[in-house]
Chains A and B, each alone.
Chain A
Amino acid sequence: MIFSTKRSKVLLGVGALAVAALAVGTTRYAIGSDHAGTVVTAQTRPGTDLSDLHIFPGSDPNNVVLSMSVHPLIPAGTAPSAVSFDQDVLYQFKIDNTGDNVEDLVIQARFQGTGANQKVFIAGPTKPSRIGTVTQFQTPYAITGTLNQEFSPKAGMKVFAGLRSDPFFIDLDQLFTILPDRKDPLLPSPATPPGEANTPKATSFRAPGDAKDFLANFNVLGLVVEVPKSALAIRAGRGKIRVWETTSIAQ
Chain B
Amino acid sequence: MVLGGALVWAKMSGSQLLVRSQLPSATAPVVVARAAYDPAQVQKTLEFYAAQVRYDPGNAIFKASLAAQYLESYRETGDSADATRAEQAARASLAIRTHGNSEAYFQLSRALLTQHRFPEALVVARKAAVLNPVGLRECADIEIEVGDYDKATHDINASQKAVAAAARSVALVRGDTAPAKPDDDPAFLALASRLNELHGDSTGELELLTRAVKLADANADMPVQSVAWFHERLGRCLGMMGQLDEAEKSYMEGLRVFPRDYRTMAALAHLNAARGDWKEAIDWGQRAANIVPAPETLALLGDAYTALGDSQKAAAQFRLVEQIGKLSKAQGVIYDRQHALFYADHGRNLNEAVKLARGELRVRHDIYTYDTLAWTLFKAGQFAEAAANAKRALAFGTRDASLYFHAGMIAAAQGQNQLAQTYLQRALDINPYFHPTQPATARATLANLNAAPSPDTKLPPTSG
Complex: A44 Cα to B97 Cα, angstroms: 26
Chain A facing B: main interface SS: loop
Q: Tell me whether B2 and A152 are in contact (CB under 8 A).
A: yes
A44 to chain B minimum Cβ distance, whole angstroms, is 6
Q: Tell me whether B167 and A110 are in contact (CB under 8 A).
A: no
Stretch at the interface among B53-61, B234-242, B398-406: B53-61
Residue of B5, B23, B25, B61 with highest tally of chain A CB at under 10 A? B23
Determine the chain B residues whose CB is within 8 A of the CB of A153 once the complex forms.
Answer: 8
Given A6-B176, A154-B3, are A142 and B220 also a contact pair (CB < 8 Å)? no
Given A40-B185, A182-B99, are A5 and B60 also a contact pair (CB < 8 Å)? no
28 pairs, CB–CB < 8 Å, chain A vs chain B: A5-B175, A5-B177, A8-B175, A16-B175, A39-B134, A40-B185, A86-B220, A87-B24, A88-B26, A115-B34, A115-B35, A139-B13, A139-B16, A140-B12, A142-B15, A153-B8, A154-B5, A173-B60, A173-B61, A173-B96, A176-B61, A184-B132, A186-B166, A193-B98, A193-B127, A196-B98, A250-B26, A250-B27
Residues of B within 8 A of A (CB): 2-5, 8, 11-13, 15-16, 19-20, 22-27, 30, 32-35, 38, 41, 44-45, 48-49, 51-52, 55-56, 58-62, 96-101, 127, 130-134, 162-163, 165-167, 169-170, 173-178, 180, 184-186, 215, 218-222
Given A4-B177, A180-B99, A196-B99, are A212 and B19 also a contact pair (CB < 8 Å)? no
Complex: A4 Cα to B221 Cα, angstroms: 20
Determine the chain A residues whose CB is within 8 A of the CB of B173 once the complex forms.
Answer: 16, 186
Q: Tell me whether A88 and B30 are in contact (CB under 8 A).
A: yes
Determine the chain A residues whose CB is within 8 A of the CB of B165 once the complex forms.
Answer: 188
Q: Tell me whether A38 and B170 are in contact (CB under 8 A).
A: yes
Given A46-B221, A88-B24, are A77 and B178 also a contact pair (CB < 8 Å)? no
B141 to chain A minimum Cβ distance, whole angstroms, is 16
Given A249-B26, A249-B178, A250-B26, are A173 and B58 also a contact pair (CB < 8 Å)? yes
Q: Tell me whether A186 and B169 are in contact (CB under 8 A).
A: yes
Q: Tell me whether B175 and A75 are in contact (CB under 8 A).
A: no
Determine the chain A residues whose CB is within 8 A of the CB of B177 once the complex forms.
Answer: 4-5, 133-134
Complex: A78 Cα to B48 Cα, angstroms: 10
Complex: A156 Cα to B30 Cα, angstroms: 36
Given A75-B45, A154-B5, A180-B99, are A115 and B11 also a contact pair (CB < 8 Å)? no
Residues of A within 8 A of B (CB): 1, 4-8, 16, 37-41, 44-47, 71, 75-79, 81-84, 86-88, 110, 112-115, 121, 133-134, 137, 139-144, 152-156, 172-173, 176-177, 180-184, 186-188, 190-191, 193, 196, 198, 201, 212, 214, 216-217, 249-251
Complex: A121 Cα to B49 Cα, angstroms: 34
Determine the chain A residues whose CB is within 8 A of the CB of B222 once the complex forms.
Answer: 44
Q: Tell me whether A155 and B2 are in contact (CB under 8 A).
A: yes
Complex: A86 Cα to B26 Cα, angstroms: 11
B380 to chain A minimum Cβ distance, whole angstroms, is 46
Complex: A191 Cα to B166 Cα, angstroms: 16
Residue of A37, A144, A187 with highest tally of chain B CB at under 10 A? A187
Q: Tell me whether A176 and B130 are in contact (CB under 8 A).
A: no
Q: Tell me whether B55 and A84 are in contact (CB under 8 A).
A: no
Complex: A86 Cα to B13 Cα, angstroms: 25
Complex: A187 Cα to B25 Cα, angstroms: 32
Complex: A5 Cα to B2 Cα, angstroms: 34
B31 to chain A minimum Cβ distance, whole angstroms, is 11
* 6 more A-B residue pairs beyond the given contacts A44-B180, A45-B221, A176-B101, with a C-beta to C-beta distance below 8 A: A41-B180, A110-B23, A137-B23, A139-B13, A188-B165, A196-B98
Q: Tell me whether A81 and B97 are in contact (CB under 8 A).
A: no
Complex: A78 Cα to B38 Cα, angstroms: 11
Complex: A186 Cα to B170 Cα, angstroms: 6
Residue of A nearest to B167 (CB): A40
Q: Tell me whether B45 and A181 are in contact (CB under 8 A).
A: no
Q: Tell me whether A190 and B12 are in contact (CB under 8 A).
A: no
A54 to chain B minimum Cβ distance, whole angstroms, is 20
B85 to chain A minimum Cβ distance, whole angstroms, is 18
Determine the chain A residues whose CB is within 8 A of the CB of B2 once the complex forms.
Answer: 152, 155
Determine the chain B residues whose CB is within 8 A of the CB of A121 once the complex forms.
Answer: 19, 23
Q: Tell me whether A181 and B99 are in contact (CB under 8 A).
A: yes
Q: Tell me whether B59 and A173 are in contact (CB under 8 A).
A: yes
B240 to chain A minimum Cβ distance, whole angstroms, is 27
B99 to chain A minimum Cβ distance, whole angstroms, is 4
Determine the chain B residues whose CB is within 8 A of the CB of A198 once the complex forms.
Answer: 99
Q: Tell me whether B12 and A217 are in contact (CB under 8 A).
A: no
B216 to chain A minimum Cβ distance, whole angstroms, is 10
Given A114-B34, A152-B2, A180-B97, are A142 and B176 also a contact pair (CB < 8 Å)? no
B108 to chain A minimum Cβ distance, whole angstroms, is 14
Q: Tell me whether B166 and A217 are in contact (CB under 8 A).
A: no
Given A181-B100, A212-B56, A251-B178, are A86 and B133 also a contact pair (CB < 8 Å)? no
B34 to chain A minimum Cβ distance, whole angstroms, is 7
Determine the chain B residues whose CB is within 8 A of the CB of A184 once the complex forms.
Answer: 132
Complex: A196 Cα to B134 Cα, angstroms: 21
Determine the chain B residues whose CB is within 8 A of the CB of A45 once the complex forms.
Answer: 180, 219, 221
A191 to chain B minimum Cβ distance, whole angstroms, is 6
Determine the chain B residues whose CB is within 8 A of the CB of A201 once the complex forms.
Answer: 97
Task: Pick the contact of B4: A41, A115, A155 (CB < 8 A).
Answer: A155
Determine the chain A residues whose CB is within 8 A of the CB of B4 once the complex forms.
Answer: 155
Task: Pick the contact of B97: A37, A176, A212, A217 (CB < 8 A).
Answer: A176
Given A1-B26, A39-B134, are A182 and B219 also a contact pair (CB < 8 Å)? no
Determine the chain B residues whose CB is within 8 A of the CB of A86 once the complex forms.
Answer: 220-221
Task: Pick the contact of A38: B38, B49, B167, B221 (CB < 8 A).
Answer: B167
Determine the chain B residues whose CB is within 8 A of the CB of A8 once the complex forms.
Answer: 174-176
Residue of B nearest to A88 (CB): B26
Q: Tell me whether B100 and A182 are in contact (CB under 8 A).
A: yes
Given A1-B26, A75-B45, A188-B166, are A47 and B221 also a contact pair (CB < 8 Å)? yes
Q: Tell me whether A154 and B8 are in contact (CB under 8 A).
A: yes
Complex: A143 Cα to B19 Cα, angstroms: 10
